[in-house]
Amino acid sequence: MRAPQVFIETFGCQMNEYDTEVVRSILKARGYGFTDSADSADVVLLNTCAIREKAHNKVYGHLGLLKPLKEERGLVIGVLGCMAQNLKKDLLASDALIDVLVGPDSYRALPDLLEKAAAGRKGLAVDLSEYETYADIVPDRIEGVTAWIAVMRGCDNFCTFCVVPYTRGRERSRDLISVVREAEALAASGCKQVTLLGQNVNSYRDGVHDFADLLGAVADIRGIERVRFTSPHPKDFPDKLLEAAAGHPKICEHIHLPLQAGNDRILQLMNRTYTRAEYLALVARIRRRCPDIVLTTDIIAGFCSETEAEFAETYDLVEQVGYHSAYIFKYSERKNTIAARKFPDDVPDAVKAERVSRLVELQRGMSLNKNRALIGKTVEVLVEGDGKYADQWKARTDGNIVTVFPKTGHSIKPGSLVPVRITDATVTTLYAHPA
Ligand code: SAH
Ligand code: SF4
Ligand code: F3S
């Protein structure tokens, strides 16, 4: 009998990308095959994100597209991930298309649920676990130069706007040794860069080691040339981590340091547990130790009751820090969060949009200037693969800036670390020539 073919579509963050690889591994072990389109699939799984309204709408849109396929040939449809966890039975009840609903801590139950669904029985598994880390599962990755490794799961920070503590449950870390083994296996298969993932990597603890220990241990692995991590929370960035990052040549000079807002009242309403002054002091401390560090951030504009004067403080802080790039979001109220229960979502949508566009404008100007300042410099980049055109390589600098350069000569291939000279720059991309 032909193995049932599964098509998985992934939405949301890198943690979800990683989880899709875990799900592939679990399904492969049970005899499932994979296909890259819904048209040739027996099972379609959507690994969903719940972080903002837009993320939800995207999933509903994709479900709509699957309707004719389901009617035509009884496709099994599963919704996985954060939206499944957040909406639970509501989603199963409200949408006749969905057969299976599985939250981020329940993927081991997926094969059994899919078998039942093929026999016509709907099912769900949405229990959150205090222990599940999938540490024993080797993710089924598309082999390449870069890979993610989830080193911890869940989040205990309860920022008032955020749904993640509810969709991914309590914080838990994997043992250092299981992460190191996974990275060693990746190095052996030709991977050059690993990115260690967690909602707040500074909370990583395996009983013996902290995150600085883990970062150092992974960077020491032969064959791994670059180590990245995301995200650290600004409330607890220890000197030990800064030393590890600054002192080890393989740990990249890039820190993603989510700001969210630059006004103290809003930061407090968000439960971020740091002040504007503390954040700025942290940036100064990081820059004293690593003057060339690339800093990036996340910002939310139009959080509950944010005034124009308070927003102006966020704008001012963004300008003061001079990030290399930033993800800027409109506040989007999420069901079940503390903000949704306690504070009215009272900034009009048009005002949120206008604040976002002012920040985007400011950031674009700064990104362009920072990229332009690199013109004429020679930097080392890691080649990831083809660029948009087949005669170009796409690579990244140590600071994570996308760099494109022409294919000349034959010695360069994906995984090569090569010096290039920057010749031109846009807001998002550097253009270069082999040096
Ligand atoms: N754990 C990470 C954040 C993960 S979510 C951290 O704390 O760094 C990624 C980003 O989405 C957040 O940094 C925040 O800027 C944004 N975000 C989260 N909830 C949001 C909401 N309700 N509305 C708008 N943006 C949100
Ligand atoms: Fe959400 Fe805050 Fe946890 Fe990040 S630290 S995942 S923003 S609750
Ligand atoms: Fe990631 Fe979205 Fe869940 S950002 S943790 S997939 S809500």
CA 19, CA 23: separation in Å to the nearest integer?
6
Give how far Cα 412 sits from Cα of 124, 395, 406, 417, Å.
Answer: 48, 11, 11, 8
CA 48, CA 64: separation in Å to the nearest integer?
15
Q: Which two tokens stand for residue 29?
A: 């072990």
Ligand 1 pocket test: pick from 14, 16, 49, 51 the residue with the most ligand atoms within 8 Å of its Cβ.
51
Q: What is the per-residue pLDDT across 173-195, written as a single tens digit (0 to 9) for each? A: 999 999 999 999 999 999 999 99
Nearest to 19 by CA among 10, 27, 28: 10
- CB of 191 sitting under 6 A from ligand 3: no
* β 123-125/100-102 pair status: parallel
Q: What is the mean pLDDT of residues 151-163?
A: 97
Residue 89 region by backbone torsions, left for phi larger than 0, else alpha for psi between -120 and 50, else beta: alpha
pLDDT of residue 190: 94
Ligand 1 pocket test: pick from 153, 200, 329 the residue with the most ligand atoms within 8 Å of its Cβ.
329
Q: How many percent of the chain have pLDDT more than 90?
A: 88
Q: How many percent of the chain have pLDDT more than 70?
A: 100
Residue 89 scores a pLDDT above 80:
no
Give how far Cα 383 sits from Cα of 146, 180, 192, 402, Å.
Answer: 10, 24, 10, 10
Q: What is the per-residue pLDDT across 284-318, written as a single tens digit (0 to 9) for each? A: 999 999 999 999 999 999 999 999 999 999 999 99
Residue 49 lies in a domain: yes
Q: What is the mean pLDDT of the chain?
A: 95
pLDDT of residue 324: 98
Q: What is the per-residue pLDDT across 114-149, written as a single tens digit (0 to 9) for each? A: 999 999 899 999 999 999 999 999 999 988 899 999
Q: Which of 66, 94, 125 is the last residue of a domain?
A: 125
Distance 40 CA to ligand 3 centre (A): 28
Per-residue confidence band for 409, with pLDDT thresholds at 50, 70 and 90:
confident
Residue 246 lies in a domain: yes
Residue 87 scores a pLDDT above 90:
no
CA 383, CA 392: separation in Å to the nearest integer?
10
Per-residue confidence band for 205, with pLDDT thresholds at 50, 70 and 90:
very high
Q: Hey, how many other C-beta atoms are within 10 angstroms of the C-beta on 408? A: 11
Q: Do 383 and 343 belong to one domain? A: no
pLDDT of residue 332: 98
DSSP letter for each residue of 234-284:
GGG--HHHHHHHHH-TTB-SEEE---B-S-HHHHHHTT----HHHHHHHHH
Q: Do 356 and 382 belong to one domain? A: no
Residue 138 lies in a domain: no
- CB of 168 sitting under 6 A from ligand 3: yes
Q: Do 298 and 359 belong to one domain? A: yes
Per-residue confidence band for 91, with pLDDT thresholds at 50, 70 and 90:
confident
Closest-CA residue, ligand 2 atom 5, reads 157
Residue the block writes with tokens 């890979």: 147
Q: Residue 357 corresponds to which amino acid?
A: S
pLDDT of residue 90: 75
pLDDT of residue 162: 98
pLDDT of residue 163: 96
Residue 71 scores a pLDDT above 90:
no
pLDDT of residue 343: 98
Q: Do 317 and 363 belong to one domain? A: yes
Q: Hey, how many other C-beta atoms are within 10 angstroms of the C-beta on 23? A: 28
pTM of the predicted structure, to 2 decimals: 0.95
Q: What's 314's domain CATH number?
A: 3.30.750.200
pLDDT of residue 156: 96
DSSP letter for each residue of 296-353:
EEEEEES-TT--HHHHHHHHHHHHHHT-SEEEEEE----TTSHHHHHS---S-HHHHH
Q: Do 19 and 121 belong to one domain? A: yes
Q: Which of 372, 402, 417 is the last residue of a domain?
A: 372
Q: What's 93's domain CATH number?
A: 3.40.50.12160
Residues with beta carbon inside 6 Å of ligand 1? 51-52, 161-162, 199-200, 231, 233, 258, 260, 298, 300, 329, 331-332, 334
Classify burial at 167, counting beta carbons within 10 Å of its beta carbon; exposed 0-12, middle 13-18, buried 19 or more. buried
Nearest to 15 by CA among 182, 141, 197: 197
Residue 241 lies in a domain: yes
Q: Do 267 and 350 belong to one domain? A: yes
Q: Do 188 and 213 belong to one domain? A: yes
- CB of 82 sitting under 6 A from ligand 3: yes
Q: What's 413's domain CATH number?
A: 2.40.50.140
CA 112, CA 217: separation in Å to the nearest integer?
37
CA 147, CA 382: separation in Å to the nearest integer?
13
Give the domain extent around 29: 5-125
Helices (H), 30-74: 53-73
- CB of 150 sitting under 6 A from ligand 3: no
Q: Do 33 and 82 belong to one domain? A: yes
Ligand 3 pocket test: pick from 13, 85, 300 the residue with the most ligand atoms within 8 Å of its Cβ.
13
Residue 95 scores a pLDDT above 90:
no
Residue 133 lies in a domain: no
Which-ligand-closest: CA of 50? 3
Residue 240 lies in a domain: yes
pLDDT of residue 410: 73
Q: Do 350 and 383 belong to one domain? A: no
Nearest to 265 by CA among 203, 309, 230: 309
Q: Do 121 and 96 belong to one domain? A: yes
Distance 301 CA to ligand 2 centre (A): 16
**Cβ-based neighbours of 209, under 8 Å, separated by 6 or more:** 176, 217
Q: Do 348 and 385 belong to one domain? A: no
Strands (E), 118-247: 123-125, 146-150, 152-153, 172-173, 193-197, 226-230
Per-residue confidence band for 252, with pLDDT thresholds at 50, 70 and 90:
very high
Residue 135 lies in a domain: no
Q: Do 393 and 348 belong to one domain? A: no
Residue 137 lies in a domain: no
How many domains are contained in the chain? 4
